[in-house]
Structure 1
Amino acid sequence: MNYLKQLAILLACCVAGDALSILMHGALPGNVLGLALLLLLLVFGRIQPHQVEGTADFLLQNMAFFFLPACLGVLEIFEQIRGEILAILAVCVLTTLCTAAATALTVHLVCCLQRRAGREVPEHE
């Protein structure tokens, strides 16, 4: 029963995000607004992490399952995108490299800020 309550909280944030998106005439996607709402609720203490942790962990551990519909959708339109497959792959590789570089830069900056503030920073291997 506890997992149902946790799922209800996550779904309520998702539905609220979709409703906000509709009210904003689609300026931001509902899933992004739902995650932002969940983050705000967690930051301001209206929801405690243990209230959603079990279900969130389950969803994260089974995330690959949620990508199946998207993958199958790509397979359905493969004939239409066959001519552009190299461009699509190039974009995928380029954005992956950009994401990795942005992540590394962010970690480096946070470590520098922590050192400057006098906090202990874990050593990297």
Structure 2
Amino acid sequence: MNLTSLALLLVFQCLGEGAAQLLGLPIPGPVIGMLLLLIAFLSSPRLAELMEPTSWGILQHLSLLFVPAGVGVIAAAGQLRGELPAIVVALVASTVLAIAVGALVTQAAMKWLGKSAPPASDASRESH
């Protein structure tokens, strides 16, 4: 991993946080930072190439980033009990919505790229 690449990731996150705060946007700062980083990658493919090894290194250890969130959920379990029905509904609804949006985006991308999905009848015959 390259220390410069890690620093650049943090700079873009800080830029996103700053933009969110200064402009009063309801979008999280890290999301804005990722969009800014994407723009930087599109304008300079060499930058994307330089950051690729560091990105893969981070992705290989991504599961470690979920440990603090899991600990926080366990620590707040008592407070969450009263909200359990709302949490379950939100989880189910967001999962269904994420699957539906993913399917629509995939379908649109396939149309845009000129690829077609196999007919449903062919797929169902292959599985039997």
Q: Which TM-score bucket, shorter chain as reference?
A: 0.7 to 0.9
Report percent identity of matched pairs.
29
Scaled by the length of structure 1, the TM-score of the pair is 0.81
Structure 1 residue 93 corresponds to structure 2 residue 103: no
Q: In 2, are the aligned partners of 1:6 and 1:54 still within 8 Å (CA)?
A: no
- Between the two proteins, the alignment pairs up a number of residues equal to 119
Distance in 2, Cα, partners of 1:114 & 1:46: 21
| Correspondence for 2:82 | 83
**Once the two structures are superposed, what CA deviation does each residue of 1:71-105 show, in whole Å capped at 9, x if it has no partner?**
21111111111122232122112211111111111
Question: Structure 1's 43 and 20: CA in aligned 2 closer, same or farther, altered over 3 A?
Answer: same
Equivalent residue letter for 1:78: A
Q: How far apart, in 1, do the equivalents of 2:52 and 2:45 lie?
A: 14
1:70 corresponds to: 69
What aligned pairs does 1:4-83 form with structure 2 within 5 A after superposition?
Answer: 4-45=3-44, 48-83=47-82
In structure 2, the gaps of 5 or more residues are 124-128
What amino acid maps onto 1:72 in structure 2?
A: V
| Greater fraction of residues in helix | 2
CA distance in 2, matches of 1:69, 1:40: 30
- Aligned equivalents of 1:22, 1:47: Cα separation in 2: 30
Match of 2:2? 3
SS in 2 for 1:52: helix
Give the alignment's TM-score, normalised by structure 2. 0.79
Tell me the equivalent position of 2:104: 105
Structure 1's unaligned 5+ residue stretches are: 116-120
RMSD value, Cα = 2.2
| CA shift digits 1:31-90 (9 cap, x unpaired) | 111101101101111752211111111222222211211121111111111122232122
Shift of 1:109: 1.9
